[in-house]
Chains A and B, each alone.
Chain A
Amino acid sequence: MGKSGWPFVVSGLGLALLLWGSTWGLVFAPRETYMGDVQRIMYVHVPTAWNAMLVLTFAFACALVSLLRGGWTWDARLEAAIEAGVVLSALVCIQGSIWARPTWGVWWDWDPRLTTTAVLLFAFGGILALRQFVDDPVKRAVWSAVAVVIAYADVPLVYFSVRWWNSLHQVQSTPETVSRAFHWPLRINAFGVLFLMAGLVELRARLAFWRREAELAPPPRLSQAAAAARVTT
């Protein structure tokens, strides 16, 4: 894996876009008719949700390539994508909860998309835990890739079952957030999160790749080991 600096540039650009989009959405965007200022949460919530799904889809792609092609590059990217997916999913749930409280009076409104995100959070969090407990790097790569494929295949099933289960009880529904929101801050923040996470996933993947190299490195020559020991004492 390379060592070029492009991730820093891209992530920096992402942060700048987020600052711009968030300021616009927070201060300058018009106040929404029914939800008032609370609707401004959508300018961070929707971009985070889009990117969470995107990163998890990327993880699924990495898992497939890793299973079919092998090698450590795609396993490293898989590790990075799972971690980023868990972070973004957790954030989506936090944002969704903060939004639900003033809107519906409860901390969780069982919205199908939000509930599916919560299930995904636990599913992929579990896969992160799995990676921690497998010592053999090859097994770790294969098993976590298999687990990601299985978890991702579950997404439509989870969404559909929750939506259906939900619709039989609730009258309320999450309003069509995209059509009500003013588009520009939303798009800017969406690209902001995308660029930020793209850079971070690349850095995290390099980290994983180097750790794999260190794990699989052959033992050093005796003279090297002795020299290293002399340096540290």
Chain B
Amino acid sequence: MSPFLAALRKDLLLQWRTRSQLVAVFVFGASALLLFSFAIGPNAAALRQHAAGFLWLALLLASTLALADSFESEMAERALEGLLLLPADPRALYYGKAVANLLQLALLGAGLVPVMVVLYDAGTARVPSLLGIILLGAAGLSAPGTLYAAMTAQLRARNTLLPLLLFPLVVPALLAAVKATSLLILGDPMGQLAAWTMLLVAFDAIYWSLCGLVFERVVED
């Protein structure tokens, strides 16, 4: 089994064993969506118009919890050093963790969609496209998020530093995901969805390669 697949299997197994944490993070995201709706008020039209933005904000906030958790087990008993001693490229470790985080965030996002549909009356007929955007957006959060989670897990103020470093970075991905989701919910008369999707793909391509390249320097001793 290739090192990447072994790492991926390890992380998916870890996530499965701590799935109650994922449920807690989901509840956090759902309550964030509820609280955001109070900021707008019972104005159905306004709620529907801003639903996409709130969905991605809720996912962004929930991701800081999920990403920080993802390195929890590596920090205990100096497990990270043990993993790095293995005769495998550290990049395999990174990509295994990043893909596992991507799947977890995409699952979270997909789970929050029904909450959005109910609270914001913001559904779409184009469900496969919506899931595609959620996957691409989750990928945009996962790549730099996994890198910075690896960094900040080793520090004292980790819970503050991870969002502090991550949020400015993912602005392009956030903008593109929100616009694309909004077009799917509210309609896309001028056919702009493809362009925003391309921006998301470009962001993902750049960051998945860049972060993998520098991961070794971040975890080396």
* A–B interface present (Cβ within 8 A): yes
Q: Which residues of A contact B (CB under 8 A)?
A: 67, 119-120, 122-123, 126-127, 129-130, 133-134, 139, 142-143, 146-147, 149-151, 153-154, 157-158, 160-162, 164-165, 168
CB distance from B162 to the nearest CB of A (A): 10
**For the complex, what is the distance from the CA of A122 to the CA of B217, rounded to whole Å?**
24
List residues of chain B with CB within 8 A of the CB of A149. 210, 214
Q: Are B169 and A150 in contact (CB under 8 A)?
A: yes
Task: Please tell me if B199 contacts chain A, counting CB pairs below 8 Å.
Answer: yes
Kindly list the 9 A-B residue pairs having the minimum CB-CB distance in the complex, ordered from nearest: A123-B168, A161-B172, A157-B172, A122-B168, A126-B164, A161-B175, A126-B165, A146-B214, A133-B157
Q: Are B161 and A157 in contact (CB under 8 A)?
A: no
List residues of chain B with CB within 8 A of the CB of A142. 217-218, 220
List residues of chain A with CB within 8 A of the CB of B155. 133-134
User: Which of B161, B168, B195, B214 sits near A130, CB closer than 8 Å?
Assistant: B161
CB distance from A74 to the nearest CB of B (A): 15
**For the complex, what is the distance from the CA of A165 to the CA of B210, rounded to whole Å?**
25
Q: Closest chain A residue to B156 by CB distance?
A: A133
List residues of chain B with CB within 8 A of the CB of A67. 217
Q: Closest chain A residue to B167 by CB distance?
A: A122
List residues of chain A with CB within 8 A of the CB of B218. 142-143, 146
A161-B199 contact given A67-B217, A119-B168, CB 8 Å threshold:
yes
Q: Which residues of B contact A (CB under 8 A)?
A: 144, 147-148, 151, 154-157, 161, 164-165, 167-169, 171-172, 175-176, 179, 192, 195, 199, 202-203, 206-207, 210-211, 214, 217-218, 220
Q: Is the interface of B mostly helix, strand, loop or mixed?
A: helix
User: Which of B151, B157, B202, B214 sits near A157, CB closer than 8 Å?
Assistant: B202
Q: Are B164 and A119 in contact (CB under 8 A)?
A: no
**For the complex, what is the distance from the CA of A162 to the CA of B199, rounded to whole Å?**
11
**For the complex, what is the distance from the CA of A153 to the CA of B210, rounded to whole Å?**
9
Excluding A120-B168, A154-B172, A161-B199, 17 further A-B contacts by CB distance (< 8 Å) are A119-B168, A126-B168, A127-B165, A130-B151, A130-B164, A133-B155, A146-B151, A146-B218, A147-B148, A147-B151, A147-B165, A150-B211, A157-B206, A160-B199, A161-B176, A162-B171, A168-B192
Q: Supply 9 A–B pairs (Cβ within 8 Å), ascending by A.
A: A122-B167, A127-B165, A129-B161, A133-B157, A146-B147, A147-B148, A150-B169, A161-B175, A164-B199
A151-B175 contact given A129-B161, A130-B161, CB 8 Å threshold:
no
List residues of chain A with CB within 8 A of the CB of B164. 126, 129-130
**For the complex, what is the distance from the CA of A158 to the CA of B144, rounded to whole Å?**
15
CB distance from A31 to the nearest CB of B (A): 38
**For the complex, what is the distance from the CA of A6 to the CA of B192, rounded to whole Å?**
54
Q: Closest chain B residue to A132 by CB distance?
A: B157
**For the complex, what is the distance from the CA of A143 to the CA of B151, rounded to whole Å?**
8
